[in-house]
Amino acid sequence: MAIDPQILPRIAIRSIGGGLLLMALFTMMWTGIAQGGLEHYDHHAVLILFSIFSVIFVVYGITILIAAQRFPKFTGDSDAAEGKMMATRFGIIFGIEGTAIPIVSVILLVLGYQQFTLPAIALIVGLHFYPMAKVFNRKIDYYLATWTCLAALTGIILMADHQYTQALDLTIMGIGVALATSAYGFYMLVSGYNLIKKR
């Protein structure tokens, strides 16, 4: 069903703008992990490419946040209730993710498997997309969740295999996750732009 931008609440537009800023941050974080493993062999090509993506996300994210002021706060009591419910569910998922990451990291450190920390974090990030798909009713979240989980599992398998260096393992995984966050960013960019240009 098509969304009518005339009745879309402001919070929905803001969530897209805020999401773009988060994707810029996460893309650069995983790019940094990937670039560190490359040790300049790619002449910073990965860093430059994903940095361009991140700058685009920041510019459009701010543009969308500014444009959100043109939309009503809520269109009715049902929107307010739905928005509050979505925010609560998002908070719960984010809270579980934020709690799981340090717990798993500490467990791996205590057991002497700290080299698996970043792949484990990537796996947690990938898994959190599955319930998010349900909360925001977005099919793309399922695809990105699966892709991110596969990138994380690839990192874990490579680490356990010891066939390649740890730096190369992290590079492969980092690029994989950065591709997922970039894809999510462009999805949000297109969605947000299509909404604000009609109002």
**What percent of the chain is helix, strand and coil (3-state, nearest 5)?**
85, 0, 15
151 residue type, one letter: A
Residue 3 has pLDDT above 50, yes or no: no
pLDDT at 104 over 60: yes
Residue 165: what pLDDT?
Answer: 83
Q: Which one is predicted more confidently, 162 or 149?
A: 149
Q: What is the mean pLDDT of residues 12-19?
A: 87
pTM for this entry: 0.85
Integer Cα distance of 86 and 49 in angstroms: 33
Q: Would the pLDDT of 94 be above 60?
A: yes
pLDDT of 155 reads 92
Q: What's the half-sphere exposure (Cβ side, CA atoms, 13 Å) at 190?
A: 5
Domain residue ranges in the chain:
10-196
Q: What tens digit of pLDDT does each residue of 32-86 get?
A: 999 887 876 777 889 999 999 999 999 999 999 998 888 777 666 666 677 677 7
Residue 2 in this model has a pLDDT that exceeds 50 = no
pLDDT at 5: 44
Residues near 169 by Cβ (< 8 Å), separated by ≥ 6? 37, 119, 155, 158, 159
Considering only residues 80 and 114, tell me which one the structure prediction assigns the higher pLDDT. Answer: 114
- pLDDT of 188 above 90: yes
Q: Give the other-Cβ count within 10 Å of 128's Cβ.
A: 19
